[in-house]
Amino acid sequence: MNRDILRMAAMLHDVGKVGITDVILKKPARLTPEEYQIMQYHTVAGARLFEDSTSDLDKLSAEIALNHHERWDGRGYPGYVDINTGQPIAGRMTQDGKPLGKREEEISLFGRIVSIADVYDALCSRRSYKEPWSEEEALAEIESQAGKMFDPELVKMFFSIQDVIGVIKQHYPDTD
């Protein structure tokens, strides 16, 4: 896999949010359960944008868009869904009819990598509903989620490259 393709595909991980109303995207408060369910759809919508994949970039972009909110412990989303309908895949659903979440190595490696980067960026950045966390708070949260939200081996790798991440953060500061 070409590093440049991964870099570009990772930047497209939230492209499905183009289909989510700004009323939800920019809401300055906690989302209702109904709003959260709509927001979760951005993973499927993003993957659908690359449905007719003709390049490695398209294929990886779809994979990352679909999988970046899956959790190591299986409690993420969208789980096993048909990207055409957004509905659970037969035999891959919970007893209450919801999609069964992917877990551990069932989640694509690149989805697991982007998951850590996405959460780290979200924690360290200002959002309409929150102030940025300090670097120490963000790192503590990432570490606390190893084996729950994140692949524990990838968390170790994330911490091993903190000097590189620091340089990247300095080069691309968060602007309002």
Q: What domains appear along the chain, each with residue ranges and CATH number?
A: 3-171 (1.10.3210.10)
First vs last C-alpha separation in the chain: 34
Q: What is the pLDDT of residues 92-141, one digit of tens each?
A: 888 888 888 999 999 999 999 999 999 999 999 988 888 999 999 999 99
* Sequence-separated contacts (24+) of 122-129 with Cβ below 8 Å: 124/169, 124/174, 125/174, 126/174, 126/176, 128/26, 128/27, 128/28, 129/27, 129/28, 129/29, 129/30
The CA distance from 156 to 153, in Å, is: 5
Q: Residue with structure tokens 């850590």?
A: 116
> Which pTM was predicted?
0.91
Q: What is the pLDDT of residues 61-92, one digit of tens each?
A: 999 999 999 999 999 999 999 998 888 888 88
C-beta separation of 39 from 76 below 8 A: no
Residues contacting residue 129 through CB under 8 Å, at least 6 positions apart: 27, 28, 29, 30
pLDDT at 46: 96
CA 22 to centroid of chain Cα atoms? 19
Of 24-38, 50-64, 91-105, 155-169, the least confident: 91-105
pLDDT at 1: 66
- H or E stretch covering 119: helix 109-124
